[in-house]
Amino acid sequence: MRRLIEKGLMFGNLVEVSSPALVERYRRALRHLTGKDTALTDFHIDISGYAPEIGDELGDDLYLNPNGCNRQFILLTTAQKTAPLLHIRFSTSRGILQQFIEANEAQLFALTARDAVAGELENSVYEVSNPTRLFDMRRVTVQADTIGGHVRDAGKLAALVDRFRREPEGWRDDVLIAQMIELAKKTGDVTRVPIALPAMSFEQPDFWTAHFGGLYIFRGLPFPGVIARAPKAGLGALPVAPVMDLGDRNAIADWLERNELVEPIVQARGTDVAAILRQKMDFILVDAADALNLDLGSATRADLRKIAHRLGSALPAEFQGLGALLRWVEGAGDWPRLTSEHPAYFYTLRARPGRLRDLVNMLLAELAPLDVRQLYITHKELFYASYRGWSDRKRQYVADFLEREYLVDRQGARRALFGPEPGMDELQRPEMREGPKPATDLLQRVGPWGAVRGRG
């Protein structure tokens, strides 16, 4: 993984903690939350305050996320809002933390100037030993305060000030006045500079979790469903149906269409469809050549074309399906009929705009895993797991490509591939849509590339 780290493709954009004051604040917060400590004098933290160096030191990558739920966090600076979240267990966690920081940025800026802020993403579930426990997770509440309890004390002081103002003899109450003075030494004048970090709650009807091999849970849709990475038989009875796994390609395709969650790439406005298809074909070709131990050369498009000619009829079905679509896009071939049974089918789709865009693109990355760019952008946990199993040739090609084509303009690449980012209102307040409208043309009635067959 060193190659990825050196290129900024792993552990990138973390916040450095090296000043003695910040290190000591972090240590106090760590002891407060976990009872553990660190001897390190410099490290890097993600949006939640997790430091991979401390994870290595403690031998515990989940030291801020016990049991993989109710993630705890340590904020030393509001700059953490742009950092990634490492060792994700729930797809909603980073978005919730980011929204919390942005909604309270002024207060957090003032509080972190004097102390670390620590807190937790709370829900009513404290362990997930059984898949059914995941369905009790409906709302996440963010609770936070400084290690010194400044927010708590400010609330106490505000209540005492209110009492002092309401009671006619308050000015004679020496005990009350002494309490106010003592609290004000810690909090400052809360009448002039109020201190507050109100608890924020976020609904969580739809999410991915790393538990049980990886599950996508959709409850806020007209047609709910669960999609598992591992065989669904191992999950037992669940309160949401249907339950599908990645082998149920036809059923997943049908379910995505009924919920209006996907659109064909060729229909996406303002998209260079031909360029996207060519790049997907390159990724597929690199994987095929690597599996046969063929020399990639410099892995230029000319080199890859030579490999394609060499493979001939042995070219992967995914490559041939996308090639047929590319010929149609460029006016050199007929409209291809790629049903959900075709290996190229999910490579031709992207999520429709809306609050579930990133989650659906994450699912599509699992259904089209040879598109390593989409895999890296939308599902880093799976990307890193897959990377470990690749040959050094493929690792080098993918790392060089991502450094050259993605890191130089992350936002532009995401916009070109997936469309505009969902608005914060869409992310914070999940919408309950009415059922899909009746199909208005043949394309909507039969699916993007032909009739969706069965529900396998």
Q: pLDDT tens across 88-136, in order?
A: 999 999 999 999 999 999 889 888 888 899 999 988 778 888 999 999 8
The predicted pLDDT at position 93 comes to 94
Tokens in use for 204?
């969580």
Residues 144 and 251 in one domain: no
Query: Is residue 366 a part of any domain in this protein?
Result: yes
The predicted pLDDT at position 444 comes to 41
The predicted pLDDT at position 320 comes to 93
The predicted pLDDT at position 169 comes to 67
Residue 19 pLDDT class (50, 70, 90 cuts): very high
Query: Is residue 160 a part of any domain in this protein?
Result: no
Q: Which alpha helices (DSSP H) does 43-196 contain, by range?
A: 52-58, 93-103, 105-112, 150-166, 174-187
Residues 280 and 200 in one domain: no
Domain that holds residue 63: 14-150+195-204
The predicted pLDDT at position 400 comes to 92
Residues 323 and 439 in one domain: yes
Query: Is residue 8 a part of any domain in this protein?
Result: no
Residues 58 and 138 in one domain: yes
Residues 433 and 342 in one domain: yes
Query: Is residue 273 a part of any domain in this protein?
Result: yes
Residues 199 and 294 in one domain: no
Is 62's pLDDT higher than 60? Answer: yes
Residue 70 pLDDT class (50, 70, 90 cuts): confident
Mean model confidence pLDDT for the chain: 85
Query: Is residue 177 a part of any domain in this protein?
Result: no
pTM assigned to the model:
0.84
The predicted pLDDT at position 432 comes to 28
Tally the domains of the chain: 2
Give 161-180 as a DSSP string.
HHHHHHSTTGGG-HHHHHHH
**pLDDT tens digits along 292-333:** 888 777 778 788 888 888 888 789 999 999 999 999 998 888
Residues 256 and 127 in one domain: no
**pLDDT tens digits along 125-175:** 788 889 999 998 888 999 888 887 767 666 666 676 677 677 776 666 777
Rounded mean pLDDT, 443-450: 42
The closest alpha carbon to 141, from 197, 78, 196, belongs to 197
Residues 294 and 376 in one domain: yes
* 242 compared with 435, residue with greater pLDDT: 242
The closest alpha carbon to 339, from 418, 249, 259, belongs to 249
Rounded mean pLDDT, 40-66: 95
Measured CA to CA in angstroms, residue 22 lies from 29, 40, 310 at distances of 10, 12, 58
The predicted pLDDT at position 176 comes to 67
The predicted pLDDT at position 84 comes to 94
Give the least confident one: 24-33, 61-70, 182-191, 237-246: 182-191
Bridge partners, residue 200, by sequence: 142
Residue type (1 letter), 429: R
Calculate what percentage of the chain has a pLDDT beyond 90: 58
Rounded mean pLDDT, 416-440: 52
Query: Is residue 337 a part of any domain in this protein?
Result: yes
Rounded mean pLDDT, 25-52: 96
Query: Is residue 345 a part of any domain in this protein?
Result: yes
Residues 260 and 139 in one domain: no
The predicted pLDDT at position 198 comes to 82
Residues 200 and 264 in one domain: no
Is 390's pLDDT higher than 70? Answer: yes
The predicted pLDDT at position 86 comes to 94
Calculate what percentage of the chain has a pLDDT beyond 70: 86
Residues 80 and 200 in one domain: yes
Residues 346 and 265 in one domain: yes
- Spatial strand order in the sheet of 200-203: 72-75, 117-122, 139-146, 200-203
**pLDDT tens digits along 203-242:** 889 999 999 999 999 999 999 999 999 999 999 999 999 9
Residue 191 pLDDT class (50, 70, 90 cuts): low
The predicted pLDDT at position 425 comes to 52
Environment class of 431 (CB within 10 Å of its CB; exposed 0-12, middle 13-18, buried 19+): exposed
The predicted pLDDT at position 456 comes to 43
Query: Is residue 222 a part of any domain in this protein?
Result: no
Rounded mean pLDDT, 349-371: 95
